[in-house]
Amino acid sequence: MEITNKKLKSNEDFVWAIEVPLTGKFIIDVEFLDLKTASGDSGEPCSIWAEGLTQKRSNATALASLGRMLTEGIHTDIMINVSDGSIGAHRAILAARSPVFRSMFSHDLKEKELSTINISDMSIDACQAFLNYIYGNIGHEEFLTNRLALLHAADKYDISDLKDACHESLLEDIDAKNVLERLQNASLYQLPRLKTSCMRYILKSEEQAKFLTCMAHA
């Protein structure tokens, strides 16, 4: 950018007036909090980002409200019993996120009349992480800690975006300690990319072991 006669000029299209009595060429970081344009007829400035900003704020507020509904137990209407505890939730939200839950609450099944769901193969921590994801309130560390349990829940309750997120995460840190478990999970939950990555890791490790053995006997 170039400053000349109290005007900041980046190219032929953008010129801004400034009050700093400087002349020369500078590297300047510019952040636009908002950008408005005006037509030649009306002259009334209008934000070109107003619609996107409004939607972004609305989405953030909605997620925060959903998180509060879960953490504060606001008008919960279903209790989820797991192996070591219980957590209150909302039928409508569970049904909106999972076709399995939707089927439970919509058809003449046992869960339709009951106010509880029993999930014996999930711990309270894993269930909390699962619900936090459904309600858009999960943190990164919580996700990493519970991702295998979340993968199981995503597969069981047919939540494809959660299953994809777990799949991507499990690809990132394959090592000698977890590769066999990851390979087993890849087969169990039909994760082809994870299976391929695990097989490559195993083959590469075997080749390295053979090389080191040959070097030791050379």
Stronger pLDDT, 43 or 89, i.e. the higher one: 89
Residue 58: pLDDT band (50, 70, 90) is confident
In a domain, 47, yes or no: no
79, 111 contact by CB (below 8 A): no
In a domain, 115, yes or no: yes
In a domain, 102, yes or no: yes
What's the confidence (pLDDT) of residue 214?
Answer: 64
Percentage of residues of the chain with pLDDT beyond 70: 68
Q: What's the CATH number where 120 sits?
A: 3.30.710.10
In a domain, 19, yes or no: no
In a domain, 118, yes or no: yes
In a domain, 123, yes or no: yes
In a domain, 200, yes or no: yes
* Domain span at 210: 77-216
Kindly give, in sequence order, each residue whose CB lies less than 8 Å from that of residue 2, ignoring residues fewer than 6 positions away: 8, 9, 10, 24, 25, 26
121, 152 contact by CB (below 8 A): yes
Checking if the pLDDT of 166 tops 60, the result is yes
Number of domains in the chain: 1
Residue for token digits 């269930």?
Answer: 127
Look at 55-69, 172-186, 202-216 and tell me which has the smallest mean pLDDT.
Answer: 202-216
In a domain, 153, yes or no: yes
pTM over 0.75, yes/no = no
